Chain A
Amino acid sequence: MADYQIECYGVFKRLTQVDSLKITMGAEEVQIKELLDELQKQYPEMTDTLKVTACAIGDELLSRESTITPDKTLALIPPVSGGQ
């Protein structure tokens, strides 16, 4: 078992009431989409926004087919709304 850290931004902070979450998976390396599937199971209130969410590690946007290991933190990037 391995713990994965997930950072919440924007509306995810409101939905979860926290800045970050921990998801336990059965492998030391998983695809991001597997992590999101598990996240959706545990937090069904995130489902709609997850459909339009991008993922990042550090300052890199990644596809959901990319893999992640527990030493990295996954950032959930919901639809953006900067500007005026």
Chain B
Amino acid sequence: MSDYLFDTDLDLHALLAETEDESCGALVIFGGAVRVNNEGRTVDSIDYSAHNALAEKTLREVEQETRDKFQVAQCRLVHRIGKLALGELSVLVVVRAGHRPEAFEAARWAIDTVKKRVPIWKEEFYQSGDSEYLEGTPLESKISDRP
């Protein structure tokens, strides 16, 4: 689909190859996966959808901001789109830095920022047969004069 959004399995090995950097002694990888329980309900699958153009642009911006803010050499972010079964990876964060403190800090900030800023939505499907869009985070900076 793109360098950021994929409708097939996320490829960690490709990201590791892409970010190889001999100046880096630390590599932090975060992966998010579909889990079976959420707020007391038994989950069967999650359908991820996105505003593709804005999501890709925002993921690119968050990568750059992560590199700049934490002075890390490498940051890559990728996200799945479509219906994912339990255990499937929905998001990957790969950070490489000189040392582990900034690598851990940068990866944590990157995933937290993805969840707050990237226009991606989750519709959870339950074993009971129904589904629900999860409450999310408003993109507050652009909301004004609400109707």
Contacts and interface: CB of A to CB of B under 8 A. Distances in A.
Nearest to B112: A83
Nearest to B131: A14
Contacts of A33: 145, 147
Interface of A: 7, 9-11, 13-14, 33, 36-37, 40, 47, 50-56, 58-65, 75, 77-84
A36 B147 contact: yes
A53 B146 CA distance: 9
Contacts of A37: 147
B136 A63 contact: no
A32 B85 CA distance: 38
Interface in B24-52: 31-33, 35, 48-51
Contacts of B35: 84
A54 B142 contact: yes
A84 B144 contact: no
What interface size band does chain B fall in?
Answer: 35 or more
A60 B136 CA distance: 20
A44 B122 CA distance: 23
Tell me if B's interface is mostly helix, strand, loop or mixed: mixed
B32 A84 contact: yes
B143 interface: yes
Contacts of B51: 7, 9, 56, 75, 77
Contacts of B90: 82-84
Nearest to A79: B136
Contact of B143 (A54, A59, A80, A82): A54
18 contacts: A7-B51, A10-B123, A51-B146, A59-B57, A64-B144, A65-B145, A77-B51, A78-B136, A79-B139, A80-B118, A80-B121, A81-B134, A81-B135, A81-B137, A82-B55, A82-B79, A83-B111, A84-B33
B83 interface: no
Given A80-B117, A80-B121, A50 B147 contact: yes
